[in-house]
Amino acid sequence: MSRANTVIRALPGLALIAMAGCATTGAAEPLSAEEQAYQDAISQALVPATPEEIAQAERSDPITRANFWANEYQKNAADLETTIAFMRALRRIGSHDRVVEVATTALPIHPQSYELYLELGRSFLSANKPTEAAQAFVRSADFAPETEAAPLAGLGLAFDRLENHAQAQDAYEIALQREPDRVSTLSNYGLSLALTGQLNQAEAALRKAAEQPGADVRVRQNLALILGLQGRFDEMAAVDPSAPTRSVEANQTVLRQMVMPTRNYDSLQNLDEVISDLERTPGASEAMPDLNEANVQSEAMAEPDGAEIAGAADGAPVVSLRPKLRGTQGD
């Protein structure tokens, strides 16, 4: 018998077997009421939150918000928007190790998400790990749209924390090319310029920041600080008339000590110490604090080229980043 005839003769039998299988499957017993209720409960628990529920959670206190996003993350850990919101909520309650854990899981799924690297960098900054933050911000800048300012602004803040003010200012300038009126970037740029003795440019950046609709009291305080560094104490007090009198007086006293009888580069490098002195003054209300990048609060990533981050503490490992970032002139 030919092979074709054998196959043809076998078809009716196979059809009968298939029909029997279908009949058996269709005869499955229905779920009990208890089992059905359990299945329904599982299905309901996995339904994503509605926009109204998300909006309500975002208006809640930080702990409630973190718990809400933890629940959403458990429903679908692969969803990018949920993961970013969860990382942001964790950062705001200071759970930085957990942020790194979430990022470690999420990055293989979304390896080119600049937002994941951005949140990671912000978390590293909040945890006082500027080297790791700089590396995360560089990677974020690699994948971000050319109009996105946040990764470069965060990188500037990380470089300033590492006392590499020249590279910090380069990063701020690229960020401001992309978003000229970004308040936090202008303010941080102004403080960075002050740290390198460029007080006129610092004042210009901070005045522009103070003119923006989103500027708050911290921006005015930073501008007042720069005016004080120039010995313009009356203008300093006028910039923020709502500041407590004792805070203004304390600021003036410390700043006069710093700029008189001479003002030099070394004294300007002590700006962080001045701010600390102001914050320790009895009765002062957080005088002249740093304005962190968007409440910047993310892993060692090897970079191919060799510009060193200057200013790291003695004995700290040398970190290499690209000497130029995408968007700089000449790229």
pLDDT of residue 301: 28
Given the structure tokens 């299905």, which residue do they identify? 43
Question: 144 and 114 in contact (C-beta within 8 Å)?
Answer: yes
d(CA 48, CA 73): 10
Question: 252 and 228 in contact (C-beta within 8 Å)?
Answer: yes
% of the chain at pLDDT higher than 90: 47
Cβ-based burial of 91 (10 A; exposed 0-12, middle 13-18, buried ≥19): buried
**Enclosing H/E stretch for 307:** strand 307-308
Task: Convert 172-211 to b/e letters by CB count within 10 Å (16 or more is b).
Answer: bebbbebbeebbbbbbbbbbbbbbbbbbebbbbbbbbbbe
Q: What is the pTM of this model?
A: 0.66
- For residue 320, the 8-state DSSP code is E
How confident is the model over 270-324, as pLDDT tens digits?
554 544 554 454 443 333 333 334 333 322 222 323 232 223 333 333 333 443 3
User: What one-character-per-residue DSSP string does 198-235 give?
Assistant: -HHHHHHHHHHHHHSTT--HHHHHHHHHHHHHTT-HHH
Class of domain 112-321 (CATH, top level): mainly alpha
Which residues, in sequence order, are bridge partners of residue 321? Answer: 307
Question: 197 and 230 in contact (C-beta within 8 Å)?
Answer: no
Number of C-beta neighbours around residue 14 at 10 A: 10
Which one has a higher pLDDT value, 122 or 2? 122
The per-residue pLDDT of the chain, averaged, comes to: 74
Q: What is the mean pLDDT of residues 13-31?
A: 51
pLDDT of residue 170: 97
